Structure 1
Amino acid sequence: MAAFNVGDLGNLGAYLREQRRTAQLSLRQLAEAAGVSNPYLSQIERGLRKPSAEVLQQVAKALRISAETLYVRAGILDEKERDDLETRAVILADPSISERQKQVLLQIYDAFRKENAAEAAAAAEAAETEEPS
């Protein structure tokens, strides 16, 4: 997982404020919907508090946005991890395929990811050992 940086608090707060305003919710309304106190939510928006993953999940649900997006904004999760989780969620939520098909599809997905990671690592290693001309 990505390390948490203090600068992430301001980015997260500004993003939450923007999402709240887009949803046309007051700070008090969002705090109530998310089950957190109004002062606590205000501190998060101002970049003074680092919310837990659970609080971010509650806020995301109240805003009807992806919790993973907030995790990335907070520096808890990196973009690649979010993309992986979202892909898995879409596969698992698809009602048109069976549970067995979902599991097979996830296995294929994992195999492709491992293969691509191995190829990227090999290419990076080759580039490091290559002598400049």
Structure 2
Amino acid sequence: MATVQNTLGSLIRRQRELASLPMRQLAAMSGISGPYLSQIENGLRFPSDQVLRNLASAMGIDPDELVPPESDEDDAAAARDAMHDLIKVDPNLTGAQRRALIEVYDAMAAPAASATSAPAAEPQE
């Protein structure tokens, strides 16, 4: 699974190559060092918003083009599927225990996933 840093670095490298700019030239135009740009492109460093704006400006693109797409839902689904797979292959559980554990896991994980998109419900007394 790619991290945000790796994805961002790949986007910057791809845009730099599309603009036919050597790394050193883009770095100079953006006010950063060549080694720092290399670290960004290789996912070793995460640039500040100002550096991102400078890079985008130097390449003649909108800074929003350097923002990697959100993948929180994909990550949550992958984590859920991985947990289901682990539960299904656990040799210490019976079939009924596996089904119950998956049901409990889904019930507990669902509020965490929806908490980022919806306000929390008021507690009932």
- Per the normalisation by structure 1, the TM-score is 0.49
Query: Aligned pair 1:15/2:11, yes or no?
Result: yes
Amino acid at match of 1:42: S
After superposition, the Cα gap between the structure-2 partners of 1:33 and 1:13, relative to the gap in structure 1 and judged at 3 Å, is: same
Contact 1:12 1:74 in 2 (8 A): no
Structure 1 segment 50-129 matched on structure 2, within 5 A: 50-70=46-66, 72-73=67-68
Contact 1:60 1:67 in 2 (8 A): yes
1:39 to 35, 39, 62: 35
Amino acid at match of 1:51: P
- CA drift at 1:53: 0.3
- CA drift at 1:55: 0.3
- CA drift at 1:41: 0.4
Rounded to whole Å, the distance in 2 between the matches of 1:27 and 1:73 is: 20
After superposition, the Cα gap between the structure-2 partners of 1:74 and 1:60, relative to the gap in structure 1 and judged at 3 Å, is: farther
- CA drift at 1:69: 2.3
Q: Which has the higher helix share?
A: 1
Rounded to whole Å, the distance in 1 between the matches of 2:16 and 2:55 is: 10
What is the aligned length?
A: 70
Unaligned runs of 5+ residues in structure 2 are: 71-117, 119-125
Which aligned runs of 4 or more in structure 1 are off by greater than 6 angstroms? none
Rounded to whole Å, the distance in 2 between the matches of 1:17 and 1:56 is: 12
Give SS of 2:20's match. coil
Rounded to whole Å, the distance in 1 between the matches of 2:11 and 2:46 is: 14
Higher relative contact order at CA 8 Å, sep ≥6: structure 1 or structure 2? 1
Root mean square deviation, CA, Å: 2.0
Which has the higher Rg, Structure 1 or Structure 2?
Answer: 2
Give SS of 1:15's match. helix
Q: Percent same amino acid at aligned positions?
A: 46
